[in-house]
Structure 1
Amino acid sequence: MDISSRAAPADGGRASARPLIVITMRFSVLVAQRESWAIGRGRSEADYRRTLFDDERLALHHFLFENLTLPSLAAQVPAPSEEFVRLYVITSSELPPRHLSALEQACARHRWVRIVRVPPDARSVAHGDHIRDFLAEAGHGEGTYAHVRLDDDDALSSDFLSRIAAFATPGNVGACVSLARGYLLSFDSGRRRLTQVVDYRLPMAAQGLAHLGAYKDRAPVGKPANVYGLGHHLRVDTKVPVILDSRAPAFIRTNHEGSDVQFGGRKSFPAGEPVDPRDLLTLFPSLANLAGGAAS
């Protein structure tokens, strides 16, 4: 269920010279196929539900979403507009009420955000339907688009969407784009402050991985370009061509006690060179919200 039914003004069906961007973010989604997520693997249904909706875990994810992730999208240059950008925040229909209320309040500030609540008996998330909904609502007759994945505790650089849009040309339809250079942010969950930021590079990283598609008559041409439909992000190059660009930083990945990678059993990352968070504020202005406890 969307938090808003506001529709962007239609352009009479004309082609759009500007690619459309659909961003999908999962925020504590409870689905029948729990093995699809690191947090659900090897757990009973009751344990999966209890862990997913743990109050402390949800409070931490909301803090990062509201202070790092969502502001990083709002800070895009040019600024997001509901005519060309749509963020779908996918959550569970059983998300505890106070956490749902906090999520709705954060998202209501931005006309380009929608919340979709998924029932617990759903086997998967209908990403293709969400893409179709936005293409129809945006009102452009034909053009190209990108479907971007992003976690609720990570961030994108302020030029990220413009960089992805530059690759969303007719000749690249069907390919993925991986802006593979970024930063790994270690986060102290108790103090709600970052402790260190280091250089980080990972081809086909999940943060901001995008799949490019085309649309005509306000609908996808063929099967919607769904980045999640390609399977594990580190193996998308076995399914489609991948455009790899590591020339400039494009994302921040957080590592903390509640990270999905921690549930997946990974406790460390390849070490990179430490950087001063203050040097990153131009590309990542929302980093200022976390920098009070940064190590010198």
Structure 2
Amino acid sequence: MQVIGLCRFSYPAIGGFQVEHDSIEARIAYLYAEARLEERFRLFETLALPCLREQTDQDFDLIVVIGNSLPPHHEDRLRALVADMPQVQIRKEPPRKQREVMKEILNQARRDPKQPCLQFRHDDDDAISVDFVERLRATVTDCRGLFRNHKTAAVDFNKGFVAEVSADGISATEVFRPFYVAALGMYVRGGCPLTIMNFAHERIPRFMPAVSISDAPMWVRSHNGSNDSRQKPVKAIEVEPLTPAQEGEFEARFAIRRDHVASVFSSS
């Protein structure tokens, strides 16, 4: 069964952001500001990509969506970061309505629309467990009796970490958050044009059956200076520096390595 992931890398969509801008030009200027993009690249390199590179099941596709106005030197840097990942396709799009363009991209990525597929979203500043794709497939197999009776169904791995990363390393705290973006998958029946982007992630169980799994941390949500969802006043989440044992867990489960984080974030 084809597994398709979708990652938006500073794509200047019309809508789809909690922070509003007066014009698409203002949104592009905000997204492509050098300091902001530098932070996004560092998070992408240290959090979002290593866990995909080390998936125990390598049979998946990842579409990285960028704006067709992304400056060439940034596009070159992005392509260099994923050059060793055959699963990755970079898709350039002009500014369009967020859900419209993402639904279109996901449906075009289906190699055989008559066959069922699995879909997930992957934010460019988050990580998923290295066994996410494997466990997503296994859950669908375990629940085949339920899933075959529905056009769509969700698989929600709802335990993870909130983390902050810097030149000093990694600080984090474990949290329980159902139907977060990371490690949330969706089954789509063959012939069905619905996609994971048809639904707000926190509302997805209103529209389909969902299987929730809480046995192990399956994602890392980074808190950083450019989180769209945290540009407005929100409750702070306290994090603590990882212990050596936790650093080992982050490396084993998410391929996040303290030395790599410190090196990338300390570079000029």
> Is the contact between residue 46 and residue 256 of structure 2 (CA under 8 Å) also seen in structure 1?
yes
Task: Give CA-to-partner distance per residue, 1:217-256, whole Å, 9 cap, x none.
Answer: xxxx1223x112112x222222222211111111111001
Query: Does residue 145 of structure 1 match 2:120?
Result: no
> Is the contact between residue 185 and residue 194 of structure 1 (CA under 8 Å) also seen in structure 2?
no
Task: Give CA-to-partner distance per residue, 1:135-159, whole Å, 9 cap, x none.
Answer: 32xx6x9643211011001011111
> Is the contact between residue 50 and residue 254 of structure 2 (CA under 8 Å) also seen in structure 1?
no
Match of 1:186 in 2: 164
* Candidates 128, 150, 159, aligned match of 1:156: 128
Match of 1:281 in 2: 251
Match of 1:63 in 2: 42
CA, structure 1 residues 267+49, in 2 after alignment: closer, same or farther (shift >3 Å)?
Answer: farther
Other structure's SS at 1:148 match: strand
CA, structure 1 residues 145+264, in 2 after alignment: closer, same or farther (shift >3 Å)?
Answer: farther
Give me the CA root mean square deviation. 2.5
CA, structure 1 residues 269+50, in 2 after alignment: closer, same or farther (shift >3 Å)?
Answer: same
Aligned counterparts of 2:196 and 2:107: Cα–Cα separation in 1: 14
* Candidates 202, 225, 247, aligned match of 2:215: 247
Q: Where is the helix percentage greater, Structure 1 or Structure 2? A: 2
Task: Give CA-to-partner distance per residue, 1:268-294, whole Å, 9 cap, x none.
Answer: 23779966323332112233322679x
> Is the contact between residue 4 and residue 106 of structure 2 (CA under 8 Å) also seen in structure 1?
yes
Q: What is the one-letter code of the residue matched to 2:217?
A: P
Match of 2:176 in 1: 201
> Is the contact between residue 156 and residue 208 of structure 1 (CA under 8 Å) also seen in structure 2?
yes
Identify unmatched segments of 5+ residues in structure 2: none
Identify unmatched segments of 5+ residues in structure 1: 1-18, 216-220
Aligned counterparts of 2:262 and 2:211: Cα–Cα separation in 1: 33
Match of 1:229 in 2: 198
Q: What is the one-letter code of the residue matched to 1:265?
A: P
Q: What is the one-letter code of the residue matched to 2:97?
A: R
CA, structure 1 residues 92+186, in 2 after alignment: closer, same or farther (shift >3 Å)?
Answer: same
Other structure's SS at 2:106 match: helix
TM-score (norm 2): 0.85
Counterparts of 1:111-126 in structure 2, within 5 Å, are 111-120=86-95, 122-124=96-98, 125-126=100-101
Aligned counterparts of 1:271 and 1:119: Cα–Cα separation in 2: 38
Shift of 1:49: 2.2
Percent identity between the two aligned chains: 21
Aligned counterparts of 1:273 and 1:99: Cα–Cα separation in 2: 31
Shift of 1:61: 0.7
Aligned counterparts of 2:109 and 2:214: Cα–Cα separation in 1: 29
Q: What is the one-letter code of the residue matched to 1:38?
A: Q
Task: Give CA-to-partner distance per residue, 1:92-128, whole Å, 9 cap, x none.
Answer: 11112111111111122211100111102x1235333
> Is the contact between residue 251 and residue 257 of structure 2 (CA under 8 Å) also seen in structure 1?
yes
Equivalences, count:
254
